[in-house]
Structure 1
Amino acid sequence: VSLRISSSSLGPPPPSLEKQLVCPICLEVFTKPVVILPCQHNLCRKCANDVGSTLTSGGRFRCPSCRHEVVLDRHGVYGLQRNLLVENIIDMYRQGGTSTNPSVEVKVDHPMCDHHGDERINIYCLSCSVPTCSMCKVFGAHRDCEVAPLDAVFTTQKAELTDCISMLVGNNERIQAIISHLEETCRAVNENGGRQKSKVCETFDHLFAVLEEKKGEMTLRISTEQEEKLDYVRGLRRKYSEHVENAAKLLETAIQTLDESEMALFLQVTKPLIVEGTDTSHLDQLQHGYEDMGHFTADIERQRQALATVDFIRGVCVCVCVCVTLGANEHILSLEGISQRANMLASLLSLSVSHFSVVTVTHTLCRQRQ
C-alpha cells in the first residue's frame, strides 16, 4: 500500500508542545538558529545576541527562564551549541501547521489500494497495522481482521506521535543535563587530580629537603672526624720524619766517634750518643684500626621500611550505579569516586520525571583501593 499525506495534515502543535517552543525573551516561537544554554534552556540566537551586546559583566548573563548564570567564551553567543532537534520540530510544524483555523480544508493526496486499483484506502487494519480499502476487508486478505475508520486511527496515532515528540524534546533536555554533569565531573576530576599531584610532589619535595638536611649533618660529622684524624696522622708523620733526620745525624756522629783512638775522649762522647740513639719513648704509636671509620655506618633500615609503606590516606569511596529508562531502552551509568560523587547522585535523582525515570539506584561504601 502506498500512502502519501501532505505535510499540512500535521496541523498546529498542541498547546503543551507549543509552550516549549516559545523564546522566553521575545515570547514568540523560536527563530532559527536556536541555541541551547548550559542550563538546557533555549533562546533564539538573535535574542541571545541582543542580550550579549548589552553585557557589562565580562560575558556573563543570567538565563531568563531559571536565572542560572551563563558564562560566554571568547566566541560570545556564537560559541553556544545549536539545538537542532528544536529547530527540526519548528520546521515541521511551520510547514504543516501554519494555519490554526480548524475550518480550513486539509488537502490530502488519497492513495489507492494496490490490490483493488479503483478503490481508495479508507480503513485501517488493526490486526495487520496497515491501511487498506473496504474491498480488502470484504473480499480480500483482511476479511478476517479487525478494522477501524481511517480518521479515528489517524487521530489516535497523531496524538501518540505528538506525545512522542514532546517526550523526545524533554528527554533531550535531560540527557543534555546529564552530559553537562558528566563534563563537569571530568573537569573536576582533572582539577582535583592535578591538585593532589601537586600536593604529593610538595610532600616529597619536603621529604627530600629533610633528607638532604640530615645527609648534610651526618656527612659533616664524618668530615670533622676525618680531618681530625688526618691532622693527627700528618703531625705524627712529621715527628717520625724529624726523628729519621736526627737519627741520620746521630749515626754519622757515631761513625766518626768510632774512629777516635783516644780512649778518654772516646768515652766522654759515647755515653750520650748511646742514650740518645736508644731513646724512642717520645714517639707516639697509632692504635690498631685507627683508620677505620665504620662507626659512621648509617642505620636507616627502620626509615627505609617506613618510606616503603608511604601511601595515601584511606578514605570512603562511593560507587554509584544508576539505571535509567529512556523509552524502551535502558542505560546504565556507573560512577565511582570519592565521597563528593554523592553530590552528582543527588543531581541525577533530581532529574527523575515522566519518561525518564531512575528505575534502579544502588550505592555502596567501600574502602579506597590500596
Structure 2
Amino acid sequence: MTAEMRRSSGAFSVPIKNIERELICPICKELFTHPLILPCQHSVCHKCVKELLMLNHDDSFDAGSESSVSGSPRSRVPSPSMERLDRLVRSGSISSPGWRRGSVTPRVTTIPCPGCQHDIDLGERGISMLFRNFTLENIVERYRQAARAAVAIMCNICKPPNQQEATKSCMDCKASYCNECFKLHHPWGTPKAQHEYVGPTMNFRPKVLMCPEHEMEKVNMYCEVCRRPVCHLCKLGGSHANHKVTSMSSAYKILKEKLAKSIHYLISKEDQVRTQITELDRLINQTEENGQLAERQANEHFERLFETLQERKTEMLISIEQSRNRRIDQLKGQVQNIQFSLFI
C-alpha cells in the first residue's frame, strides 16, 4: 500500500467505523440497498420489505391451510431469505402484536417495523406507497467509495512478496493487472488486446443487462414511453412511475416484428433501387460521351475558323502590299515629271 493510500486509510478509518452501524439495514444486517422510508420514518432495504410482505402473506396462507386442511402431510420448503426472516421473528427481533404465525386473520399488507416494533399498514398500494430514501442511499454510496479508496487493489497475477498494485482492471477477464502483467497477458495482435479495461476496480459488472440508474438491479421491463429497458425500481418510484411498461419478452417480440417488417420492406425495394442505380449509371456514361463529343466538335469548329481567319489575313496583307506599291509608283512618277519640267 502506498503512502497516499495509508494516509487515505487513516483519514477515513475513524469516520467509517463510527457511521457504519447507521448504514446497516436492521433486517439483512448489510449496507442499505435502495432503502425505502416507512411511515414511522425508519428505513429498510427494498428487498427486505418485499421479503417481509412475502413472509406475512405466506403466514396467512399457512394459517388458512392449517384451519382448512388440518394434518396435511405436505409442507412448504422456505427459501433461505424466508428462513432468515423466520428466525428473526422467532428470536423476537421483528415481533409485534397482531403479527403472529398462528394468527387466524392476518393482515397481508401489514409489516412490522424492525426499528420501533410497530405494525405498518401499507394499504392497497403496498410497497408503491413508500418513498425512496435518496439521502441515505447517497450516504451509503459515498461510504462504499471511501471504503474502496482506503484499500489498494493489488495485481491478481503477481505473487507475494513482489506483488504490485494494479493499474488496470479487465472487465472481460474480471481481473486486475499491474502494467507488466497487463502487457504480458494482453499482448498486441491477440483477441485479448480488444478487451475492455478500466482503472483498478473490484466492481466487475455482470454479463446480464443491468439498470443504468440502479446498478444492482436487472432490467425486467420495457418503458413504452421512453423506449428503453427499466427495472422494477424505476417503475416503483423513479422517473418511469407513471409510464406504461410491458414485459421484456413482449417488447422483444413487438420490436422484432417491426424490425422484420422493415427488413422485408427494404428487400422488396432492393430491385427498384438497383434499377434506379443502373439508370443513373447509364445517364452518367451518356453525359460523359455527350461532353466528349461536344468538346471535339467545338475544337473542329474553332480550327476551321482559325484557318479561315488566317486565309483572310494573308489575302488582306497581299492586297495592302499591292495597293501601297501602286501608290508609291504613282507618287514617284509625279515627282519625276515635276523635276523634268523644271529643267526644261
Same fold (TM over 0.5): no
> More helix by proportion, 1 or 2?
2
TM-score by length of 1: 0.27
Q: In terms of Rg, which structure is larger?
A: 1
TM-score by length of 2: 0.29
